[in-house]
Chains A and B, each alone.
Chain A
Amino acid sequence: MKEWGYSILKGRQIDFENNDFSISRFVELHEPSFSWCIGCGSCTATCSAAKFTDFNPRKVNLLIQRGEIKGIEDEIAKCMLCGKCQLVCPRGINTRNVVQNIKRAISKSYAL
């Protein structure tokens, strides 16, 4: 299993001061529930895509919130938008809209 989010970074530290929060800000603006996650992991546990590949929606969201956005494009593309994660999320996060808005932010079809 690829340790996405760690191995591809220069250092191991999250360089909070110099990281890129543009995606995070965009997503939070359009889907405020984005930042309510308490990291319980049920989304990843139930995720349809995670059954076939090393996709971890909890981690993707968290890393974006920390400004760690390298490689994010290929990761988020794995989501099938099936909605299981949304059904189990105890915080009532609109996980599908989070995915959708991350994609929007990346594609830069809208002003960030």
Chain B
Amino acid sequence: MHFNLFVIPFMAGMIALLILLAFRYSQWLSNLETGDWRKIGSNLFTLKTIYAFREIFMESLIHRKVFKVNPLLGYMHMSLAFGWFMLIVVGKFEAFYYTGKFANEFYYPIFFRFFEQTPHLSTTLLNFNASMDLILLVVLSGIVVAILKRFRPGMTGMKKITRHSVGDRLALSSLWMIFPLRLLAESTTAGFTGNGSFLTQPIGNFLNIFLPLQSISMVFWWMYSLALGAFMVSIPFSRYMHIPTELLLILLRNWGLKTNDNFTGFSEIEVQSCSRCGICIDTCQMNSQGKNATTQMVYFLRDYRYDQLKPDLSDNCLLCGRCTQACPVGIDLTQQRVLQRKKMTFPQSAQFKYLPVNQDIDKTEVVYFAGCMSHLSPNISLSMEKIFKADSVKYLFMDRDGSVCCGRPLKLSGQFEAAKQLVENNRQQIIASGAKTLVTSCPICYKSFKEDYNLKIRVLHHSEYLPELISQKKIKVLPTGKQVVFHDPCELGRGSGIYEQPRNLLKKFTDLRPLSQEKSDSLCCGGSLGNLSMDTEERCAIQKATADYLNSGNPEFIATSCPMCKKSIGQFSVAPVKDIAELVAANLVKIGQENHKLLKYRKLQDAMDIQ
């Protein structure tokens, strides 16, 4: 039986942590939806579980994604997480080898050098000894980076470090102390017993010259144990709660759980998994271009965790999804924000009794819904009409005289119930039209139609519909050879995963140039309806910066496929900004006339200059 009083703080901390974790976990898990349990049940004994463990290893220990963003930051996370993990694992095997028993006291491997003070003779043990010193050295180097980062944040790429709470400070200082104290405890012990290796032994020998190590070392073992205990206890009250929680998150996610329109136990687990790495601060254009570093997801989640979330902060986000894309933990951040807005919504909300109920609607083939914003960029819907006519398809321009909003703006602001009233009104009209296809020009409406309308017909954004018309040879466009870059609208790209269709379309008749930040990496135009409270100057700063970026290669046109993006970027752009529908309509040829008319058309295009 190995025992010394000093192990008590560590063990107490450990037990407290386990109790707290068990309590928290059971709370979260009890809030899972029934469907979630079914998913877990059917996926538990499949390959998915193995994938989950691989992911845990790659992300929670090696921190692969952080490495990708910033190698130094990645090293810091890895040396701490993986290093500590290795100390535990190698320590365990060392104890196993030494005692020949796998089961020892829980704390025995951790304080091995305290309990086993006779110098080792066997090579295996010496190797174990050296490995443990080496791993300790790696962990210590990680601590050095962490300390530097705290005082010189620019170094690790983070422009601004995240703000810290009391629990965080306690956890952070105990974490920083743990390994230096372990070094001191082991070194001072090695100094008078000779049980150290290449790191601890020389330090011990040196200290032995002028210090009474035998008595001092006990102090360090106590402090080491205290630091460990303090860290354990502070975990549930600090950002480090993310470490145990992320493991759970990865498992559940691999088993198919997701945050949908309700805030569930899984959502809570997502929130608690944020490591406050701060990557979302850097990636957010409200910070990089709008100079606002107070409202990003890391702050939003922190305020939620501490029960201090205010609508003013929650409302101030474009919901562009750039942070969701970049978050190494893979939290569905924008959805989290929307759900918190939903929680904070007011009881009295909206009343749309005045809306007309389903008047007689002409039966049609295709329903076209331009969307509210398209009415302020009328050339988009004019172009679409021109295309419908060229295809001679029977279509109905549902919101020609102004729209009933699709409902998504209300939903994004948290007013789910009010949104449903609008959805129902539009849905009835769409169904009554008897159309088989619904085409929209607005990515916001598109997402709403796709996800909230439960329509049994095809729902297409025009960037999907137009290439289809061309490949079915229903319309034909003249090649223009113009240099074009494509700006991905947030709701269409990151929001709906439509990246290739508009690009393939443009490649058919323009000289499409790549951008360094495109597709899932693309910038937000700044106009997003997701943000309720950002002031106009800040918005304009983002709009201008994005316009400048898109203009940097001097393209002849900037193409996009969203009325809002067109407007936002257009105000500040040198090159004209055109929706792909406008580009198609401007270069449309009647089938059968293309050859002899080609030259004439080209000349006309050049003369018109515009498009």
Contacts and interface: CB of A to CB of B under 8 A. Distances in A.
10 contacts: A30-B533, A31-B533, A48-B402, A73-B348, A82-B405, A87-B373, A96-B409, A100-B532, A107-B347, A109-B346
B575 interface: no
B60 interface: no
Looking at chain B, what size class is its interface with the partner chain?
Answer: 35 or more
Interface in A86-112: 87-88, 92-94, 96-97, 100, 103-104, 106-107, 109-110
Contacts of B401: 51
A8 interface: no
A37 interface: no
Contacts of B532: 94, 96-97, 100
Contacts of A46: 375-376
A81 B410 contact: yes
B372 A83 contact: yes
B351 A78 contact: yes
Interface string A54-85: 00000000000000000001100111111110
Contacts of B352: 78, 80
Given A48-B403, A87-B373, A94 B348 contact: no
A95 to B, nearest CB: 10
A82 B372 contact: yes
Interface of B: 311-312, 315, 344, 346-352, 354-356, 372-373, 375-376, 401-405, 407, 409-410, 413, 415, 422, 527, 529, 532-537, 539, 567
Given A78-B354, A104-B346, 13 more contacts: A30-B311, A46-B375, A46-B376, A49-B354, A78-B351, A80-B410, A80-B422, A81-B350, A82-B405, A94-B535, A97-B315, A100-B311, A109-B344
A53 interface: yes
Nearest to A51: B402
- Looking at A46, A48, A104, the one whose CB has the most chain B CB atoms below 10 A away is A48
A83 B409 CA distance: 8
B347 A84 contact: no
Contacts of B355: 52
A33 interface: yes
Contacts of A88: 376
Given A84-B375, A87-B376, A48 B405 contact: yes
B409 A81 contact: yes
A49 B403 CA distance: 9
A94 B538 CA distance: 12
Nearest to B422: A80
Nearest to A53: B354
